[in-house]
Structure 1
Amino acid sequence: MPNELQKTAPSGADRWLTERVTTVWGLLTGRPVSLYAASVLRIGYGLLYLAFLLREFPHRDEIWGPGSPWTPGLARQLLEATGWHSVLTLSDSRAYFELCYALALVTSALFLLGWHTRVMSVLFAVVVTSFHARAIFMTDGGDNLALLMSLYLALTACGRRWSLDARRNRLKALRPDNTPAPAKSPFTRQLRDARTTLVTVVHNCGMFVVAAQVCFLYGSAGLYKVQGTLWGDGTALHYALNLELFRPWPALSHFVAEYTLLIAVVGYLTVLLQIAFPFVLFSRLKYPVLALLLGMHIGIAVLMGLPLFSGAMIIADAVFLPDRFYTFLSRLGRRAAHRTDRWRPARGPAAGSGTVPTQGGPGALGSKHRVVLPAGRRDTTPATAPATSQAPPKTD
């Protein structure tokens, strides 16, 4: 009998596996994670793509329009071969292209603001995919990352914080008549609970995929650099600073390139940070690593002229900051705004307006009411005087 009980009792490994599965399932279905980080990604990529479209507005026809050297016909042939799709290739009309461009600007702005975010996130993914596929040979790493993140954000609940949707829901909850109607049947309650669980699971999986994408990006970039001899001897950044294609300010690039030892140290540090990044995410080391990566991306944006790539990477790194960091920033901003309002001088009548504000309310003891008289003449009457009383006669 004891032997049979030992056979049916779960072993230590089975209990460990069961506990881990339960923990992961609870993490996926319990509550949406990183809602503030998802909102930061929405705001960041919406603003980044809106700025990108506005910057290229004067050149839109040469890049994506009917007047592009890469004609719509050539784009359709490539799309058929690769399986991509773009709404810009549905027509060769210039009016249609201008309409698509205007709608892309509006969609990016509304996605940034978080207006009906669930629908806008899907439309934003369509916009980014269409423009990316239309001019595939004019993209870089920043465009590729923005494309991936737009697809991932369509799965997340990125409009629950810092959005117009969140503001509308908050104001709606403050209304006295906003009492949720009780479920009419157990089936309705189960259906509502299943929908909530599904939304939570999809959001959490989307955020985990975003984090995994960034980890793979850094890890693969670091391992790829290790294989190159230029990164091994510390001269890779020196050659990058002397490439004409990546020298927006040649004088600045030439000045930085003179510090060869510093460039070699920065090159080795870059490889080390990228390889070590996936392994420091669950420790406090991730904060200094993220700070160093932020400096690296700012340097790439300034020295190599790749602001879109650097901006996309900086925004992607924000997914690893906890929600308590963003709530702290929010409280700090409200506190600063409160101090600004407190230090702001009180508004009053303009100087020289000819009127003096009442000193004390009606019935206040000892208060006086000034009456402005011609130059050199002044009279005072108690503030408690009846309203119908006349001012005393003027005397010389």
Structure 2
Amino acid sequence: MDRLGRLFALLTERPVSLHAAAVLRIGYGLIYLLFLLREFPHRNEIWGPGAPWTPALARQLFDQTGWASVLTLSDSRAWFEFCYVTALAVSALFLLGWRTRVMSILFAVVVVSFHARAIFMGDGGDNLILLMAVYLVFTACGSRWSLDARRLGRRATPAGGPPSSGGTLRDELRDVRKTLATVLHNCGMFVIAAQVCFLYGAAGLYKVQGSFWGNGTALHYVLNLHLFRPWPMLSQMADGHAVLMAVVGYLTVLVQVAFPFVLFGRLKYPVLAVMLGMHAGIAIFLGLPLFSGAMIIADTVFLPDRFFLHLTHLWSVRGGRVRDAVQVPVPPQK
């Protein structure tokens, strides 16, 4: 009963990982904004009326899969351009944290619509961004490092005023709303953490079943895939160190399988550092920056608020030292 009571208090009394939720909002908003800007010259061939996968074909698939997309509401080019500009604006506003409750819903609609419109062109990174966009709707991802937080901070009244009665219907409704928002936020963050654990655990277990990962030659074949070889000289140079590649392959499998079991101890920090290096290698050697960025941002859900507060403190101290160094002393007046 005590454990159930502590679990209930954890879910209802205090929102957890508000800074991590803000990092998720900023990260995924920035990644999707850059993604849309990168594909801007090719937007019509991927999602527009001029795509080989026409809106009519997409609607036929929606009847079978249950997907939906605002891009297929009309076949006109003007409607598509309006949707694309709106998606850019929504991604930017979601990144900045302006009216985050509304923008999080619109951002999820944008991601789902673009993903469903060209569902055969996505990869693991697109799937993860889609899931995270839906999960972030239920979180208080605009409570920190956002325009909403800045606006609420300016409106905050100084402490020391007369306490409210707390017995009115308005106060009770406000408490219920606060408790409901806290429960939704905490459940959303727990679901995000569970999603990342399932992802790593499943990836590691699938690798264990493969013979190439067992004999240490998997990365050799990965580095020789022509579709995922943006820097051939760099891939060839890395492939020349067979022992090192075998060690990296074994370490990758070990870390992914052990990931869900080290999250409640200090071992999670070196494991997260190894994951960071692994995804950086995927982005450089395989040319998958979108997937790597989505995974790196997802990993931040396991970092506590004190970690981000410490980084903020170091940043402010460093900024203060820089300002003091460049400040020109004013000579005293005679």
TM-score category, normalised to shorter length: over 0.9
2:209 corresponds to: 227
How many Å apart are 1:20 and its aligned residue? 1.2
Which of 227, 249, 261 is 1:245 aligned to? Answer: 227
How many Å apart are 1:289 and its aligned residue? 0.3
SS in structure 2 opposite 1:298?
A: helix
Q: Which amino acid aligns with 1:111?
A: F
1:328 corresponds to: 310
Q: Return the TM-score normalized by structure 2.
A: 0.97
Distance in 2 separating the partners of 1:209 and 1:93:
39
Distance in 2 separating the partners of 1:36 and 1:288:
21
How many Å apart are 1:174 and its aligned residue? 5.1
What is the aligned-residue identity percentage?
68
Distance in 2 separating the partners of 1:30 and 1:197:
7
Which of 235, 250, 258 is 2:240 aligned to? Answer: 258
Aligned length: 334
How many Å apart are 1:186 and its aligned residue? 2.9
Q: Return the TM-score normalized by structure 1.
A: 0.82
Distance in 1 separating the partners of 2:166 and 2:24:
38
How many Å apart are 1:315 and its aligned residue? 0.1
1:143 corresponds to: 126
SS in structure 1 opposite 2:313?
A: helix
1:164-179 aligned at under 5 Å gives the runs: 164-173=147-156
Which structure's CA Rg is the greater one?
Answer: 1
1:47 corresponds to: 30
1:67 corresponds to: 50
Q: Which amino acid aligns with 1:265?
A: V
Residue ranges of structure 1 left out of the alignment (5+ in a row)? 1-17, 349-356, 361-366, 368-396
Structure 1 residue runs of 4 or more that deviate by more than 4 Å after TM superposition: 179-185
1:302 corresponds to: 284
Q: Larger helix proportion, structure 1 or 2?
A: 2
How many Å apart are 1:189 and its aligned residue? 2.1
Say if 1:67 and 1:287 are closer, same or farther in 2 by CA, change over 3 A: same
Distance in 1 separating the partners of 2:144 and 2:87:
23
Q: Which amino acid aligns with 1:162?
A: W
How many Å apart are 1:188 and its aligned residue? 2.3
Between 1 and 2, higher relative CO (CA 8 Å, sep ≥ 6) is seen in 2
Q: Is the 8 A contact 2:166 2:172 kept in 1?
A: no
How many Å apart are 1:345 and its aligned residue? 3.3
Residue ranges of structure 2 left out of the alignment (5+ in a row)? none
Distance in 2 separating the partners of 1:89 and 1:180:
55
1:120 corresponds to: 103
RMSD (CA atoms): 1.8
Distance in 2 separating the partners of 1:332 and 1:116:
29
Say if 1:194 and 1:242 are closer, same or farther in 2 by CA, change over 3 A: same
How many Å apart are 1:191 and its aligned residue? 1.5
1:67-86 aligned at under 5 Å gives the runs: 67-86=50-69
Q: Which amino acid aligns with 1:201?
A: V
Does residue 276 (structure 1) correspond to residue 277 (structure 2)? The answer is no
Distance in 2 separating the partners of 1:184 and 1:175:
19
SS in structure 1 opposite 2:174?
A: helix
1:23 corresponds to: 6
Q: Which amino acid aligns with 2:137?
A: A
How many Å apart are 1:181 and its aligned residue? 9.7
Superposed CA deviations along residues 6-51 of structure 1, whole A, max 9, x for unmatched, are xxxxxxxxxxxx1111011010011000000000000000000001
How many Å apart are 1:183 and its aligned residue? 6.3
How many Å apart are 1:175 and its aligned residue? 7.4
